[in-house]
Structure 1
Amino acid sequence: MSEPSSFPFPPAAANDPTAPGRKEDHIELAFQSQTDRATLDQRFDYEPLLAAHPAPGSLPPVTWGGKRLRAPLWVSSMTGGTEKALTINHNLARAAGEFGIGMGLGSCRSLLYEDQRFEDFNVRPLAGSEVPIFANLGAAQVQHLLERGEAGLVTQLIDALQLDGLIVHVNPFQEWLQPEGDRFTVSPLETIRELLRELPTLPLIVKEVGQGMGPASLRALLQLPILALDTAANGGTNFSKLELFRSDALARTAYGGLTQVGHSAEEMVRQINRLVVEEGDKVRCANVIVSGGVSDFLDGYYLTELSALPAIYGQASAFLRHAREDYLTLQRYVATQLRGLELAKAYLRPRP
């Protein structure tokens, strides 16, 4: 009769049949998993002792106007008025409803005077009533509406689509470089002020289109009673550069330098923080959407935590890549990003 083993536990394989294979994987992959110290993310302190693994759906809700977001994530305005837009917008709206995130529609200009592409933008039935969805018009279109005494068309547009407010995108370089672009005859700031005078109860978001804004523009917007300032910073999709690709060779040579100016999202958040201190009670803007070069949940977490004003973060191209085909691809992407954000909040502490 053999002596009983003195080891008090059964072999690992008896409890975990995957253990041998997993350990073999570890041996094979160890040499591929070396980390270069130069690539470490210096934005965070990693605190592995202070939290359990977060439960799915554990992000704190965010008040946004009269509604609540289940995660601090915003689908930034992208496209409208084309055949592909219907699939993209409808997939994005389903994701917004499923995950409780906000959404800005692409330019709704085509709906101001006709409804041929109404279904491209008719996303409320897919998103449900709880999530905020905003229409989107360029500053030039808003200027023209105001000049013609047609501000009421904005309200009609929002009511027809059952939306929660309006985004005004400010894009002087894009309009200048666009072969069929409009021209501003007054400053976008004056247009926004006039819109607020005409429609004082309209929840309003103001954004750039991929190059951000400098401190004087930020100061002016912070003093306005708007729901949010969207950074739309340099580092993501730059619509001025996009339009330049549609121009001829001479224009690309002459104006290429204009697409290289602008401000990063982090630069803008830090500038907003300074202005909030300087302006004090003059600050009337309620929120910040940090967008432009926000590639993943780590960028979003860092920048929203850095913000002195309540902040969420927006993405455009990342959503667009996953929304062009089937919904399951987009669904998995959003779920992965939100789980990553939950992990970041549990174990990472942003450095100032």
Structure 2
Amino acid sequence: MPAAPKNDPTAPARKEDHIELAFRSQVEGFQLDPRFDYEPLLAAHPAPGSLPPTPFGDKQLAAPIWVSSMTGGTEKALVINHNLARACAEFGLGMGLGSCRPLLYDNDRLKDFDVRPLTGPDVPLYANLGVAQIEDLLDEGRMQEIQQMVDLLRVDGLIIHVNPLQEAMQPEGDMYRSAPIDVIKATLAALPGLPVIVKEVGQGMGPRSIHALLDLPLLALDTAAGGGTNFSKLELFRGDDIRRAAYEPLVNVGHTAEEMVEMVNGQVRVGAVSSPKWTMETQHLIVSGGVRTFLDGYYLTERSTMPAIYGQASAFLKFAREDYALLQRYVATQIRGLELAHAYLRVRSSPGEFKVV
């Protein structure tokens, strides 16, 4: 057997690995991802950091990834939010804070949310309040407190989370007195110029709700779809057995992120056809809910006819609770995966369809 070339000292060990691992590395045909065409001939290996910048509002993301709203108001939130803020600064990602409701009462938990010094000024960073809290502020003539909170945190705007089923499932939940769309419109009127994102909390929303939002001057619609953390279901686990058994079917309704992307695409097409002068008011789509890997994010954002980024929550939360080095490594692998996907994968119009462009 000829000696290994001197310029390839790893060859013997590498080939030994190949022999040992070959039988563990079989991929059956049914396991192949039907969403993509794999095109290995058309690009060199992408250089690290080669993703094109993604505009979002008046800022840019280095990668089309949004750290979806997590938590606030607890001791664990401090570590989580600060680690996530560091990662957003290092990798150029956008970030939504968890519910900032505690700050409406006092500043005891301000340190949990005050992450602008960690993100730096260039990262899109958004505060977050629920419809129920905003409805109270509207009724009490206290909407200026939202602007004060935005200024205190030095954030770029506000996320409004819409969560009627979560509130209904929550033992101490708040009840809406008005339709959320009316609260959202009133917020836009009361705080003109403030960028606003609207999201659900894990069950998504249907075509009529999407249509109502796309006609508003929002910075983004965040799908927060079914398939990820479902906060209505989470609240059921905090209740008793009778409530859990009674309401469990209700928390299983909703829409997936893929369904919502197609709903948005359909409404964009209908609007363009029905009126040549029609312009969609909402600027961006954040695809979140059940986005588990960079391939899910790549597929869904490429499918979107709106400018889109994708959000993750639980995947980041898993690595953000203690060790920043683990979170750093996770984010780096996700971005490298996106770079490889952009270089070698093309999204099919529908699963199983082959098309030469």
The superposition leaves residues 240-283 of structure 1 with CA deviations (integer Å, 9 ceiling, x where unpaired) of 00000001111001100111100000010011000011123152
The superposition leaves residues 191-219 of structure 1 with CA deviations (integer Å, 9 ceiling, x where unpaired) of 00000111121100000000000000000
Structure 1: give runs of 5+ residues left out of the alignment.
Answer: 1-9
Give 2:50's match in structure 1, choosing from 49, 58, 68.
58
**CA distance in 1: counterparts of 2:63 and 2:279, whole angstroms:** 29
**CA distance in 1: counterparts of 2:293 and 2:192, whole angstroms:** 35
3-state SS, counterpart of residue 247 of structure 1 = coil
Give 2:320's match in structure 1, choosing from 284, 299, 323.
323
- 1:341 has 2:344 as partner: no
Task: Give the Å deviation of 1:349.
Answer: 0.1
- 1:40 has 2:32 as partner: yes
**Letter of the aligned partner of 2:250 in structure 1?**
L
**CA distance in 1: counterparts of 2:102 and 2:110, whole angstroms:** 9
The match for 1:4 is none
The match for 1:121 is 113
The superposition leaves residues 48-96 of structure 1 with CA deviations (integer Å, 9 ceiling, x where unpaired) of 0000111111111111111111110000001000000000000000000
Task: Give the Å deviation of 1:28.
Answer: 1.1
The match for 2:354 is none
The match for 2:264 is 272
Tell me the TM-score normalised to structure 1 length. 0.96
- 1:22 has 2:19 as partner: no
Tell me the TM-score normalised to structure 2 length. 0.95
The match for 1:7 is none
Tell me which structure has the larger Cα radius of gyration. Answer: 1
The match for 2:231 is 239
**Letter of the aligned partner of 1:48 in structure 2?**
P
Task: Give the Å deviation of 1:14.
Answer: 1.7
The match for 2:252 is 260
**Letter of the aligned partner of 2:218 in structure 1?**
I
The match for 1:299 is 296
Q: What value does the CA root-mean-square deviation take over the aligned residues?
A: 0.9
**CA distance in 1: counterparts of 2:24 and 2:55, whole angstroms:** 44
The match for 2:209 is 217
3-state SS, counterpart of residue 31 of structure 1 = helix
The match for 1:6 is none
The list of structure 1 runs, each at least 4 consecutive aligned residues, that deviate by more than 6 angstroms after superposition, is none
**CA distance in 2: counterparts of 1:65 and 1:22, whole angstroms:** 47
Aligned identity (percent) is 66
Structure 2: give runs of 5+ residues left out of the alignment.
Answer: 273-277, 350-357
Task: Give the Å deviation of 1:226.
Answer: 0.1
Indicate if the aligned counterparts of 1:13 and 1:20 stay in contact, CA closer than 8 A: no
**CA distance in 2: counterparts of 1:172 and 1:116, whole angstroms:** 28
**Letter of the aligned partner of 1:228 in structure 2?**
A
